[in-house]
Structure 1
Amino acid sequence: MDQLTQAIINGGQTTIANVLLEHYRELGLTNAELLVYLQFKRLMDQGDTFPDANQVAESLGETSNTVFQHLHEMLAKKLLTIESVTANDQKIHDRYNFDGLYEKLAVALTRTPKTETATVVENNENSRQKVFKSIETEFGRALSPMEMESISKWFDENHYDPEIIELALREAVLRQVYNLTYMDRILLNWQKRHLTTAAQIEADKQRGIENRLNSAPKPQRQTGANAGPKIPLFKLGEDQSK
């Protein structure tokens, strides 16, 4: 058996549905993201449910940060989720789940290629990407897959407006707290107080400033012994030597 044949047999096969290759652009999947998905699928088909991004990066000739960036873009588009499951060894393990990709494919097959709704979805995804990039810039590092999923939940489950998430990021940076847990507490506090727009949040902050100024103790006019030295009064032209 020649070396190529042996490599093909030992390496196994990775199959991909032709309908996905035909319609992947309609799902918002880019060419680069499709390649990343195929590499992850290859490793997952071989039994690795949570492949190492460094291994995928090496196969693609890219950096691990580039691979993580593509993963978080797929998370933002709800093409990918990261699940925690209990394995046979009773330990909790993370795994990638690309079911969302095929769920969106099923929807894409039932609609027209490009509608006004699709344009709105695309604009929302652009806003989401802007938030991801802002957080990474302020934190000074790339986000982990779990952090990417947490941010996606702010959009998909909590339905926070992107502008509000940006405001929460600004509050966290001002306090030099660079983690999503702190941002989540800020967002939850605003939600409980029914502050659902950036304008409402800014108005609430302004009221807080005004209340603090109004409640601050005012300086008291000193009298008696603490009033300080008396300043003599005299009329203009009066002889002061008297």
Structure 2
Amino acid sequence: MEKDIILAWIEEGSLQIPQLLMANYKKIGLNETEVMLILQVYSFLEKGNDFPTPEELSERMTIHNSMCSSILRKLVQNQYISIEEGVSEDNIRLEKYSLTPLWNKLIENILYDKKQKELEKNLHDETNLYTVFEKEFGRPLSPLECETLAMWLDQDHQSPTVIIAALREAVISGKLNFRYIDRILFEWKKNGVQTIEQARDFGQKFRQQQRKKTQSVQKSSNTVPFYNWLEQ
């Protein structure tokens, strides 16, 4: 007897509920009753019943079939589920529910959240960028300097990390001014430098080239050579 119960349970199958639905149904405008009704529709679909009636759905729930009908209409109108036309094996036209609109809404919500996080990160990076420059220069930036920073970000599409790398390069070269940093960024962009690693490698190669040029002059000197990107 117990074995039969266990076998019946296994044969009944299971319903895989997407974690994204459970985590985000509130964000896409659903309440608990609507979600449960959708899951009931999903369950019927999985069992081969493509168009369960409100009566069939309400038998599994604590709401009346009239309420099921009302909620189903709302879900269709608000594009959480759709009713599609199909053809049976006997070539009979029939209707069936589809949850594709629901999955699309969840995907759109994920993409929206990702975009918002990117915007917040960019805003944080830009704010941090101004702070780093002011700290390195030891003073507030002038309006013209702020405009130059904005131009690097918005017009030249330089990332904050690459701009900060150019700032560090200017410090190493002993040329802490915006004209010099602008020249570094120009050279990097011309040579396809887009990441902090590429900037580091390009800067090392540049300094090696400059070191060779000044090696004869520096033979008897202990001073640290300055590397001038403006001579490029």
Q: Which is helix-richer, 1 or 2?
A: 2
Higher relative contact order (CA 8 A, sep 6+): 1
Q: Based on CA coordinates, which of the two structures has the bigger radius of gyration?
A: 2
What range is the shorter-chain TM-score in? 0.3 to 0.5
